[in-house]
Amino acid sequence: MLALLSGDSVPSGGAGPSGDPVLSGGAGPGDGAGAAGRRDLRRARTVLRVLGARQILQGVTEALLLGAHVPASTLRLPATAVDSLHAASCFGFAAMDQRWRRVAMADGMIASTCAMLDLALLGR
C-alpha cells in the first residue's frame, strides 16, 4: 500500500511481493503494463490519495468539533451518512472493476465498520 501511495513501483513486468499489482504499485502480466497501464495506476493512486485524505479530514474535523464541545450525537448522523455513501461507492466499484476489487473491498469494509459504529453510538 505504501508503494502505491508513494508512487514507488516494482521492476517492470510483474507484481510486487504481495502479488497484487495495485498494492505493490506494479503492473502485472496482462494488465496493460504499457503506457495505458501506467496511466491506470497513476489514476488509481490519485483516487486512493483523495479518498484517504477525505477520511483523514473527516476524522480531524470530528476530533476538532468534539474538542470544541459539540455533542458527539450531533456529529454521528452526518458521519454515518458519509461513511455509508462511501462504502456503497466502494462496493459498487468493486463489483464493476476486477482489477481494483481487493482495495475497493478493503476500503468499503473500513467505511462500513465506521458507519456501523457511528450508528450503534447514535442514541448515546
For the entire predicted model, the pTM comes to 0.56
What residue segments make up the domains of the chain, in order of their start? 1-69, 71-124
Tens digits of pLDDT across the chain (124 residues): 434 444 444 334 444 444 555 555 554 445 455 777 788 788 878 877 887 888 888 888 888 887 888 887 788 888 888 889 999 988 988 898 888 899 889 999 999 998 998 888 876 6
CA distances from 79 to 44, 63, 90, 118 (A): 25, 12, 16, 7
